[in-house]
Amino acid sequence: MDRRSFLTKTALGGTAAAASTLAAPAYAQGKRTLTMVTSWGRGLAGVFDAAQKCADNINAITDGSLTVEIKAAGELVGAFEVFDAVTSGQADMYHAADYYFVNQHPGFAFFTGVPFGMTATELNNWYYHGNGQAMHDKLGEIFGLKSFLGGNTGTQAGGWFLNEIKGPEDFNGLAFRMPGLGGKALGHMGASVQNIPGAEVYTSLANGSIQGTEWIGPWADEKAGFQEITKFYYTAGFHEPAAGLSLATNLEVFESLTPAQQSAIEVSAGQANVWNLSQFLMNNGAALERLRAGGVNVLEFPDSVWDAMGAASQKVYDEFMGDELFKEIYDDYVTSMKASSGWLTNSVGAYRAQRDRVLG
């Protein structure tokens, strides 16, 4: 499906989709500078690191024939404006969580995280050895993008709340920060869902604009300082069992590069994907213990809340099944998830249960 055809068949396209793709700029022979805009505040733990890792990798692998210049959120465009900037040709590439752009197409959510969806291992299986990359390409072509996974936070926490969550009714009227399809599910539970850039979440929670927030996990959350505001922390969330981050290049710019430079971007993103996941997982355990020691109540949602989240999530999926591309991605995603999960449950899952029992 080409971009023009897509826009005439759906009302989901936003300002970026409506904009005409600008011709790729002419470059002098030799060295080129690519501008990367990000959804992350400069230095934001883990996520900005992933963007920096992608840029550093590209610079090193191409031996300077490409130089990626990073613009943090707000330095060139806002955190949620990076999609528009790249599709219009204002910038060459972005690093972001693609579920920020579900208003462009809800299928973008699958390349970050969806309710009751894939873990990081399952996402990588689908992306690299299933049809995930091909689906990302098919969706990206509509908007003039060439995308790769370029980071992963691992399983995200359920979030921080000003008050304990004892049942589904506690979400009714709750002002809560959560992007993507997970946020839409909480909306079905009565929450007033806010989509706030990461650099602004602390202030919004501190001033009472929101009564709760998810961010990432113990390490990044501790760095953000949410424990200074509230002590109720839920460590397992339904919304992002893995959170893939994307490195997306304007398609015309990407196609103007040499094959070696194109490969450098792909390899750089892939290495950053693995490196970033390990970064989060390596730091989360110690950070969680520090939060506990500092008086944070580490909690799990009761089963009644999980059940309500599951029912609300299904409503969200049902809303979008009329979109052929969404349904195609969803069906392939679920098929791959089930195929991976069967072995992982019987191997890694069984092993870890026995390891914890034996070692205590």
List, for residues 154-174, the tens digit of each pLDDT value.
999 999 999 999 999 999 999
* Whether residue 183 is found in the same domain as residue 199: yes
Q: Is 344 within a domain?
A: no
Give, for 193, the enclosing helix (H) or strand (E): strand 192-194
Asked if residue 13 has pLDDT above 70, the reply is: no
| CA–CA gap between residue 316 and residue 189 (Å, rounded) | 11
> Is 304 strand, coil or helix?
helix
- Domain range enclosing 214: 159-239+294-339
* Whether residue 137 is found in the same domain as residue 270: yes
Could you tell me the CATH number of the domain that includes residue 331? Answer: 3.40.190.10
Q: Is 90 within a domain?
A: yes
Confidence band (pLDDT; 50, 70, 90) for 235? very high
Asked if residue 4 has pLDDT above 50, the reply is: no
Strand order through the sheet with 66-71: 66-71, 32-38, 93-96, 244-250, 145-152
Asked if residue 7 has pLDDT above 80, the reply is: no
> What pLDDT score does 14 carry?
41
Asked if residue 25 has pLDDT above 60, the reply is: no
Average pLDDT over the chain, rounded to an integer: 93
* Whether residue 141 is found in the same domain as residue 167: no
pLDDT digits (tens, 9 = 90+) for 115-133: 999 999 999 999 999 999 9
| CA–CA gap between residue 104 and residue 33 (Å, rounded) | 28
Asked if residue 240 has pLDDT above 70, the reply is: yes
* Whether residue 270 is found in the same domain as residue 219: no
Phi, psi of 357 (to 5 degrees): -70, -45
In degrees, rounded to 5, the angle at the alpha carbon of residue 306 between the alpha carbons of residues 300 and 307 is: 155
| CA–CA gap between residue 130 and residue 123 (Å, rounded) | 10
> What pLDDT score does 20 carry?
37
* Whether residue 94 is found in the same domain as residue 193: no
Residue type, 213: T
Hey, CA dihedral for 348, 350, 355, 356, is it positive or negative? Answer: positive
Q: Is 359 within a domain?
A: no
Could you tell me the CATH number of the domain that includes residue 12? Answer: 3.40.190.170
* Whether residue 120 is found in the same domain as residue 228: no
pLDDT digits (tens, 9 = 90+) for 57-104: 999 999 999 999 999 999 999 999 999 999 999 999 999 999 999 999
Q: Who's near 167: CB < 8 A, 6+ residues apart?
A: 302, 304, 305
Number of domains composing the chain? 2
* Whether residue 186 is found in the same domain as residue 148: no
**Which residues are registered as beta bridge partners of 112?**
none
Q: Please name which of 94, 116, 154, 181 lies closest in space to residue 278, comparing C-alpha atoms.
A: 154
What is the percentage of the chain residues whose pLDDT exceeds 90? 91
* Whether residue 116 is found in the same domain as residue 87: yes
Asked if residue 252 has pLDDT above 80, the reply is: yes
Q: Is 355 within a domain?
A: no
Is the distance from CB of 81 to CB of 87 less than 8 angstroms?
no
Looking at residues 105-114, what average pLDDT do you find? 98
Q: Is 51 exposed, middle or buried (0-12, 13-18, 19+ CB in 10 A)?
A: buried
Q: Is 352 within a domain?
A: no
* Whether residue 168 is found in the same domain as residue 25: no
Is the distance from CB of 234 to CB of 158 less than 8 angstroms?
yes
* Whether residue 93 is found in the same domain as residue 13: yes
Q: Is 351 within a domain?
A: no
* Whether residue 211 is found in the same domain as residue 84: no
Q: Is 349 within a domain?
A: no
Q: Is 100 within a domain?
A: yes
Looking at residues 234-254, what average pLDDT do you find? 97
Confidence band (pLDDT; 50, 70, 90) for 360? confident
* Whether residue 64 is found in the same domain as residue 166: no
Determine the longest span between alpha carbons in the chain, in angstroms.
64
Q: What distance, in Å, lies between the first and last C-alpha atoms of the chain?
A: 55
Confidence band (pLDDT; 50, 70, 90) for 30? confident
Is the distance from CB of 212 to CB of 161 less than 8 angstroms?
yes
> What pLDDT score does 29 carry?
53
> What pLDDT score does 56 carry?
98
